Amino acid sequence: MTSASPNHGDRRASLRPDLIVLHYTGMVDAAAARDRLCDPASEVSAHWLLHEDGTAEPLVAEDRRAWHAGAGSWQGREDVNSRSIGIEIVNPGDRPFPAAQMAGLERLLRDIMARWGIGPAGVIGHSDMAPGRKLDPGPRLDWRRLGRAGLAIWPGDAPSDSPAELDAILTRIGYPPAPVDLRLAAFRARFRPGAAGPVSDRDRIVAAAVLRQIDAATTCRA
């Protein structure tokens, strides 16, 4: 595949993708997003641009290191660009994702996950790996739908007891070091959209359920 975007390089240390990072473009339309992702002056790119109608447009070959993630980490793994496939979903960030686009995202995720052997625990949002610095793909992305399709982690049955320290369990889930309010906001945007206020028992219960799903997924792939 010839890359449409010039903004890519070699994956460092012979790393291969074990993460998929979801973004929204945050721009007025697909044309503007594509122009920026393919502009050498922007130094930004992604492997895929997902249009509103569900069409997936390749911009960078998946074996190359696209420049989409920036600073951050997940589960202690840094240089996320070298470890991941980036999907930019056309959305300015202030509206729901259309049904056709979500269906296209499901198709694209299945293909990428099959090609690289990535499990649902490896599908994350940009805000997960960079809390506070990034907000995308935001609380309007239907993570529940992806979870039910086996394409991302979604909390199952809640444990009977509530862990005492939310910050500790967020670390175990994979969130990088950051002020607890930023990590909480990133966690809620994905797993408790619309939640607000100080840390609650519900936050702790849902976080424990998420961790249990991650542990189960990891055990199944071992």
Residues with a catalytic annotation lie at 88
CA distances from 53 to 28, 124, 187, 221 (A): 15, 22, 28, 33
Tokens of 105: 């995202």
Distance of alpha carbon 139 from alpha carbon 15, whole angstroms: 30
Going by C-alpha positions, the residue among 176, 87, 96, 164 that lies closest to residue 131 is 176
Distance of alpha carbon 70 from alpha carbon 132, whole angstroms: 13
Place of tokens 């990891």: 218
Q: How many residues does the chain have?
A: 222
CA distances from 101 to 94, 107, 109 (A): 15, 10, 12
Half-sphere exposure of residue 75, counting CA atoms within 13 Å on the CB side? 12
